[in-house]
Chain A
Amino acid sequence: MAKVLMKGNEALGEAAILAGCRYYFGYPITPQSELPAYLAKRLPQVDGVFVQAESEVSAINMVYGAASAGARVMTSSSSPGISLKQEGISYIAGAELPCLIVNVMRGGPGLGNINPSQSDYWQATRGGGHGDYRTLVMAPNSVQEMADFTLAAFEYADRFRNPVLMLSDGVLGQMMEPVVMPAPKDYDMDSKKWSLGYTGKDKTARNLCTSIFMGQEELEEHNWSLYQKYQVITDFFKANKDLAVEEYLCDDAEVVLVGYGIISRILKTVVEKCRKRGIKAGLVRPKVLWPFPSDVFAKLADKASKFLVVEMSYGQMVEDVKLAVEGKKPVYFFGRTGGAVPSDFEILNEVDKIVRPD
């Protein structure tokens, strides 16, 4: 297929349609509004349903309903709107329903501002809503990946019967890059035997999708089965490292730079500049944030001498890196907030500080 110049938000929307998603429920908020706008135009063309709900709470509960029925379904928002959805996300995780939730992050806390940010890492990877649950979190770093990861996200969601969260940011949502749309996937709504919408011949009783388990024993059993599922997801990404993480020039790296999303692109430039100056730098870029690719860091901690984590926050993912490195090597941090995207020069300066301390 030919390359098309597209915004990240729009590429994600088109990819959702290619993945067989025919239901979108959401509420506008900058910087993700191009996504619902795009789907409002496209979904009716493919016999899909687009609903601009009266609120984010309402939208996520519509997703809950459509996912129970067996549909491929998604919602999207930006940080404050994602906070509003957390109750519904917890219910969806509890009821083990597949869906895609997109967060095009903006600055917080509170209303914050509409500039790009990465300050929802904790919310995304730690649950966000109440209860003992996990969402699979993916972090694209280009418009191409906004599309590719969306197809993968729907597959993972169905495979693990779990909500998948796409953690993007204002830059990735707004920027345009050439994208080659991935090949469409056939999706059969009748493929989910557990769903309310399943109409197969072997169906005998009504299915039930719920997160209510009133007895202590039955809830503990449910929590245990969820926990085991989360282990399966973790093991899957451990076994498929390439799906979870990108390593760049790490083999001989003394300083390992760490960043996800748009930051990882800037770090790549920094690594190249470091190499030109004779600093052996490398880059680790998690593509999946939960489960966190801890073993990659554990291994690198034996080889590299220093880590520098860069985020558009005052340090969230850095905690996961520290946990993975287990104190074997120093883990430094550099962050900017408020919508400032750190420049390669600023970061290079930080690398200099830790490589050549005076």
Chain B
Amino acid sequence: MSSTVERIILAGFGGQGILFLGKVIAETGMNSDKHVSWIPSYGPEMRGGTANCSVIISEHEIASPMVTVPDVVIAMNTPSVSKFNQKIKAGGMLMYNSSLIERQEFRDDIRLVEIPANEIAEELGDQKVASLVMAGAYIKFSKLITLDDILKTLPLMLKGKKQEMLDLNIVALKKGYDYVEEKKYMFGRYVHSVFKGI
């Protein structure tokens, strides 16, 4: 991940909160004075039950908002890995939901980060916040947005919802963030590490 632009594809099946997760990241970027874009899949593929969206956060004006070669793919289910694994930039990162995706030989030139998002969410009592767990994990790696930024944005996005729901989302975020910190990301081989210091 460069320190001036992050191109992300988020994918999963409908109901996993993929589009919302993308919005949280984009909105956080915007509130941190970054340039952002968010493009959802809305085509026939969506009708087949899978959802994905492309998000860019950038220090500079975004010319093309299309993400062809993502720096990061956040995959919530197995079909998402098959669909986007090959597209990730060499040296990029595949962050996947290991509760639903089996560990396998992915690629040896990318960083692999496994997050048992559903298990963590289940411990918190609600599977629905699995996407927020992923958001927290992502933030740990991001060079452009911080945990503080997202904690400021989330209440704005969940305005009108119950306080318990906001609290739960925040806990989920922090769990994801802490999980990455605790694991220190020993797992996975990669060629040129762009994630020094983690």
Question: Is B23 among interface residues, defined by CB-CB distance under 8 A?
Answer: yes
Q: Pick the contact of A5 from B36, B42, B66, B68 — CB < 8 Å?
A: B36
Write out the residue numbers on chain B whose beta carbons fall within 8 Å of the beta carbon of A170.
42
List which A136-192 residues lie within 8 A (CB) of chain B. Answer: 170-171, 174-178
Q: How far is the CA of A175 from the CA of B43 in the complex (A)?
A: 13
Q: How far is the CA of A339 from the CA of B45 in the complex (A)?
A: 12
Contact (Cβ within 8 A) A174 B66: no
The answer to whether A177 and B37 touch (CB under 8 A), given A5-B30, A113-B43, A114-B43, is yes
Q: How far is the CA of A114 from the CA of B65 in the complex (A)?
A: 19
Q: Pick the contact of B63 from A115, A175, A269 — CB < 8 Å?
A: A269
Question: Is B64 among interface residues, defined by CB-CB distance under 8 A?
Answer: yes
List which A266-285 residues lie within 8 A (CB) of chain B. Answer: 266, 268-269, 272
List which B63-117 residues lie within 8 A (CB) of chain A. Answer: 63-66, 68-69
Write out the residue numbers on chain B whose beta carbons fall within 8 Å of the beta carbon of A40.
none
The answer to whether A175 and B38 touch (CB under 8 A), given A343-B66, A345-B68, is yes
Chain A, interface size category, equals 20 to 34
Where chain A touches its partner, the secondary structure class is mixed
Contact (Cβ within 8 A) B38 A31: no
Contact (Cβ within 8 A) A272 B26: no
Write out the residue numbers on chain B whose beta carbons fall within 8 Å of the beta carbon of A345.
68-69
User: Which residue on B lies nearest to A113, using beta carbons?
Assistant: B44
User: Which residue on B lies nearest to A263, using beta carbons?
Assistant: B64
Q: How far is the CA of A324 from the CA of B12 in the complex (A)?
A: 47
User: Using a Cβ cutoff of 8 Å, how many contacts connect chains A and B?
Assistant: 64
Contact (Cβ within 8 A) B23 A175: no
Question: Is A265 among interface residues, defined by CB-CB distance under 8 A?
Answer: yes
The answer to whether A114 and B44 touch (CB under 8 A), given A176-B23, A266-B66, is yes
Question: Is A341 among interface residues, defined by CB-CB distance under 8 A?
Answer: yes
User: Which residue on B lies nearest to A33, using beta carbons?
Assistant: B42
Q: How far is the CA of A83 from the CA of B148 in the complex (A)?
A: 50
Q: How far is the CA of A347 from the CA of B90 in the complex (A)?
A: 21
The answer to whether A175 and B30 touch (CB under 8 A), given A5-B36, A170-B42, is no
Question: Is B155 among interface residues, defined by CB-CB distance under 8 A?
Answer: no
Question: Is A201 among interface residues, defined by CB-CB distance under 8 A?
Answer: no
Please encode chain A, from 275 to 307, with 1 for each CB lying within 8 Å of some chain B CB and 0 for all others.
000000000000000000000000000000000
Q: Which residues in A have some Cβ–Cβ distance to B below 8 Å?
A: 3, 5, 30-31, 113-115, 170-171, 174-178, 262, 265-266, 268-269, 272, 339, 341, 343-345
